[in-house]
Amino acid sequence: MGKYRKLGHKRGWAWAIAVAIVKPVLLSTTKQRWEGGDKIPATGGCILALNHVSHIDPLTAAHLSWDYGRQSRYLAKSGLFKNKWLARFLRAAGQIPVERSSAGARAFDEAVKAVNAGELVVVYVEGSITKDPAGWPMVGKSGAARIALATGAPVIPVGQWGAQQLLPAYSKRPHPFPRKTVRMKVGDPVDLRDLVEQEHTVQVVAEATHRIMDAIVDLVADVRGEPRPAELFDPRKAGVRATGNPNKKPRTK
Q: Render pLDDT for 3-19 as a digit per residue (tens, 0 to 9).
A: 789 888 778 899 999 99
What is the distance between the alpha carbons of residues 183 and 58, in angstroms, rounded to a whole number? 14
Is the predicted pLDDT of residue 239 greater than 70, yes or no? Answer: yes
Q: Which strands make up the sheet holding 180-186, listed edge to edge?
A: 30-35, 180-186, 155-161, 46-50, 120-124, 72-77, 96-98
> Is 116 a residue whose pLDDT tops 90?
yes
Q: Tens digits of per-residue pLDDT, 169-219?
A: 999 999 999 999 999 999 999 999 999 999 999 999 999 999 999 999 999
Interatomic CA distance for residues 173 and 193, integer angstroms: 43
Task: With beta carbons less than 8 A apart as the criterion, state whether 196 and 60 touch.
Answer: no
pLDDT for the residue 86: 79
Is the pLDDT assigned to residue 72 strictly greater than 60?
yes
Strands (E), the chain: 30-35, 46-50, 72-77, 96-98, 120-124, 155-161, 180-186
H or E stretch covering 62: helix 57-67
Nearest CA to 169 out of 208, 135, 204 is that of: 135
Contact 220, 51 (CB under 8 A): yes
Indicate the CATH number of 30-227 among 3.30.360.10, 3.40.1130.10, 3.30.1490.20, 1.20.1260.10.
3.40.1130.10
CA distance 193 to 156: 14
Q: 16-70: per-residue pLDDT in tens?
A: 999 999 999 999 999 999 999 999 999 999 999 999 999 999 899 999 999 999 9
Start-to-end CA distance of the chain, whole Å, equals: 53
CB atoms within 10 A of CB 117: 9
Around Cβ 73, how many Cβ atoms within 10 Å?
23
- Confidence check: pLDDT of 2 > 80: no
Give the lowest-confidence range in 83-92, 157-166, 220-229: 83-92
φ, ψ of residue 81 in degrees (nearest 5): -95, 5
Average pLDDT over residues 60-82: 88
Cis peptide preceding 168, ω within 30 of 0? no
> How far, in Å, CA of 191 to CA of 149, rounded?
11
Torsion angle defined by CA atoms of residues 133, 137, 141 and 147, in that order, rounded to the nearest 10 degrees: 150
| Average pLDDT across the chain, whole number | 91
Is residue 127 within 8 A of residue 141, CB to CB? The reply is: yes
**pTM for this entry:** 0.93
pLDDT at 250: 61
- Please report, for residues 18, 20, 30, 109, the alpha-carbon distance to residue 176 in angstroms, rounded to integers and kept in the order given: 19, 19, 8, 37
